[in-house]
Amino acid sequence: MTTYMHDKKLIDYALRLAKVAPADARFVILDGSTAEGRASKYSDYDLAVVTRKKLKSETREGLYGVFRGRIISGWLLDGKTFRTRYIGGDDAEFLWRRRQLRKARLLYGNTMEFNRIIRAAASRRWTKKRQFAVVKYAYVTMVEYMGKMLNKESQDETPELYQDAFIVAQNAALIAAALNKIDLDSDKSMYRQIFSEAKVKPTNFERDFLTASGLSHFKRERREVVSASGRLVMWARERLIKSLKNVNLNDVGFWQLVGEIKY
């Protein structure tokens, strides 16, 4: 049984953007602040259209439009991509899943089927494997951009250095979230949430994060930015070795990177 819920005009517009006939649509899902009833004047519509047919591309396709003066930013997914990307089969994205699922609202589709899928997805728990998946991606990114920063450190005009530092700080925060098994809410203050909830975190985490990221009103000195970024990378390295040394030891290349690259 397929049911319409909420705003039929929004559903019809989303299906037109996706070029999917109603009979070929499995779900139309609303996410974010609009789904929670917290939309402001400039809030967008976060939508996912899940088709019954397999897409030609195995990756999700972007949907963009304007509805009632607000931006629509969403995705066209098939069943496989929906399970992997949205529900959270992708362990590297696990820290976002449960809070997103709690906010999601079904606009079109079988309510019982959708609720069954969401309950199953929300029941998944943090494991060492999922922690490792998040931390591995974030740590490799930190090391890469720390190297970029050090290459630019001696140059006179390098605004990109500050962009690199932001990426280092951002991924340090993701590692702290994963190690502390924090489910993040992307629509609220992610970093404040991590600062307040994380017990395993760097010494002076908030200060170094704000210095490296630039998410403060204080003027940043280049030397301080590089030093704060380096401390975040070294903390991540030490915690990874201490907390996850028994996970995926067969990943020789990654653990070689952890063991040999130091800043």
Whether residue 176 has pLDDT greater than 60? yes
DSSP designation for 20: -
Q: In this predicted structure, what is the pLDDT of residue 1?
A: 45
Here the tokens at position 221 are: 């000195």
> What is the C-alpha separation between 70 and 63, in angstroms, rounded?
14
243: left (phi over 0), alpha (psi -120 to 50) or beta: alpha
Distance in angstroms between the alpha carbons of the first and the last residue of the chain:
58
> Nearest 5 degrees, angle CA 142-CA 201-CA 164?
25
Mean pLDDT, rounded, of the chain: 84
As a whole-number percent, the residues of the chain with pLDDT over 90 amount to 39
Here the tokens at position 211 are: 């210095």
Instruction: Look up the CATH superfamily of 3-122.
Output: Beta Polymerase, domain 2 (3.30.460.10)
Ordered by start, the domain boundaries in the chain are 3-122, 128-260
CATH architecture of 128-260: Up-down Bundle (1.20)
Q: Would you place residue 40 in the very low, low, confident or very high pLDDT band (cuts 50, 70, 90)?
A: low
Q: What is the pLDDT of residues 103-128, one digit of tens each?
A: 788 999 999 999 888 888 888 888 88
As a whole-number percent, the residues of the chain with pLDDT over 70 amount to 86
* Arithmetic mean of pLDDT, 52-60: 75
Whether residue 11 has pLDDT greater than 60? yes
Q: What is the pLDDT of residues 195-246, one digit of tens each?
A: 999 999 999 999 999 999 998 877 778 899 999 999 999 999 888 888 776 7
Q: In this predicted structure, what is the pLDDT of residue 60?
A: 64
Q: Would you place residue 5 in the very low, low, confident or very high pLDDT band (cuts 50, 70, 90)?
A: low
